Amino acid sequence: MPKLTLREREALARARLLRVLGTHGIANWRTLEQKISDAGPGPMRVDPHILTPVRRTLEKEGLISRRTLGDETPWFSLPETPEEFVQARLAVQLPTYQAQQVDQFSKRMGQTLEVAIYRALLSQDTLPDFLGSYLDLDDHNDAALYKKEEPPKQLGRRNIGGDRRLDFMVRHPEAGWAGVEAKNIREWMYPSRKEIFDLLSKCVALDIVPILIARRIHFSTFVVLNTCGVIIHQTYNQLYPEADEVLATQARHKHNLGFHDIRARGTPDARLTQFISVHLPAVLPEHRNKFDNYKDLIERYTSEDIDYAEFAARVRRRRQGANEDHDWEDEEPSQEY
């Protein structure tokens, strides 16, 4: 199928937003992203950085209504949808959404992907030296938080600074140390997001290869960061604690929040195990070389000497062997949302 132009993708986003809201009644933004950006046949999917401005346009035109509930999260519906139907749909979705926002659950959910990574690290022997561990996995289930021993913030004379830590650090016999960050969240990881800025900042401070593991990572993130030596793994699933299987089932249901990729498990699946035990050791030396070649640009970006637009443009031009100082001002960065 031919690649759609930007205008065609915007038209598709417009049609799908109106169609999904007409069927679903009312939805928060993550549900709309799930149903339009993640789900459905490939040609019908529209990435979030295109979907967001189209939704804003539809709001300005009065074709989509917004209301905020509880924690000020916006919910969207069509103006012509009967209020009794909107309220009936909220009665199904809102309790599930609110259960996800409870602080204790959010913290346990954040741990779940880390625990799966830790178990994957324990099960392999290609990278036997790693830092960061969970100390009481055998003492209780994941209905309560586990105790985490964080990696150090200092390697030799190098220090991350502040009270920041990486989730894990692994050592390769040739490439040296690498730093792992796990993001078990629904948002797609675009290259200019704060989470990625923080990962780059910590790893350049320690002079170690960055590794990002997250549910969905936009292609533009891969294009920019893979060039710079960052290793990227998409899980395609958001992990919930096993103790919250009921909540996971509710959130997955297509008539509830519709997060069909939720899995209630704290163990690594086959893809994550393969990544940790086979792919990661194989690519670390190559990515160490890439990181060394672009580390100066990463350091300028994370020290805020240059902004993301200039950083991405300089990365592109260096990759092409072009003059880095020539035309970065004319570049358009990947859109944040």
User: What does the pLDDT look like over 186-195, one tens digit per residue?
Assistant: 999 999 899 9
Name, in order, each residue with C-beta under 8 angstroms of 81's C-beta and a sequence gap of 6 or more: 21, 22, 25, 26
C-beta neighbour count of 236 within 10 angstroms:
14
Q: State which of 68, 101, 134 marks the end of a domain.
A: 101
110 with 74, same domain: the answer is no
d(CA 63, CA 46): 19
159 shares its domain with 306: yes
Domain that holds residue 231: 104-330
- CATH number, position 46: 1.10.10.10
- Number of domains into which the chain is organized: 2
- Distance CA(149)–CA(133), nearest Å, equals 5
Question: Regarding beta strands 209-214 and 231-234, do their DSSP bridges make them parallel or antiparallel, or are they unpaired?
Answer: parallel
CB neighbourhood size of 285 (10 A): 14
Asked whether residue 86 falls in the same domain as residue 116, the answer is no
Q: Is residue 241 part of a domain?
A: yes
Distance in angstroms (rounded) separating the CA atoms of residues 100 and 83 = 25
Enter the DSSP assignment of 145. Answer: P
Task: Round to whole Å and give the CA distance between 200 and 197.
Answer: 5
In a domain? residue 335: no
End of a domain among 101, 136, 160?
Answer: 101
Q: 94 and 172 share a domain?
A: no
Nearest-angstrom CA–CA distance, 145 and 164: 20
The radius of gyration of the chain from alpha carbons, rounded to an integer in Å, stands at: 21
Residue 208 sits in the same domain as residue 76: no
Do 24 and 165 share a domain, yes or no? no
Which tens digits make up the pLDDT trace of 100-125? 999 999 999 999 999 999 999 999 99
Q: Are residues 59 and 138 in the same domain?
A: no
Domain boundary among 101, 128, 160: 101
Taking CA 16 as the corner, what is the angle to CA 216 and CA 48, rounded to the nearest 5 degrees? 30
| H-state helical runs in 75-102 | 83-101
Distance separating alpha carbons of residues 30 and 44, to the nearest angstrom: 17
Residue 51 lies in a domain: yes
Do both 71 and 129 map to the same domain?
Answer: no
Check residue 325 and give its pLDDT.
81
Q: Give per-residue pLDDT as tens, 18-74.
A: 999 999 999 999 999 999 999 878 888 999 999 999 999 999 999 999 999 877 899
- Note whether 110 and 163 are same-domain residues: yes
Q: Are residues 120 and 62 in the same domain?
A: no
Task: Write b or e for each residue in 247-256: b if 16 or more Cβ atoms lie within 10 A of its Cβ, otherwise e.
Answer: bbebbbeeeb
Confidence of residue 281 (pLDDT cuts 50, 70, 90): very high
- pLDDT tens across 45-58, in order? 999 999 999 999 99
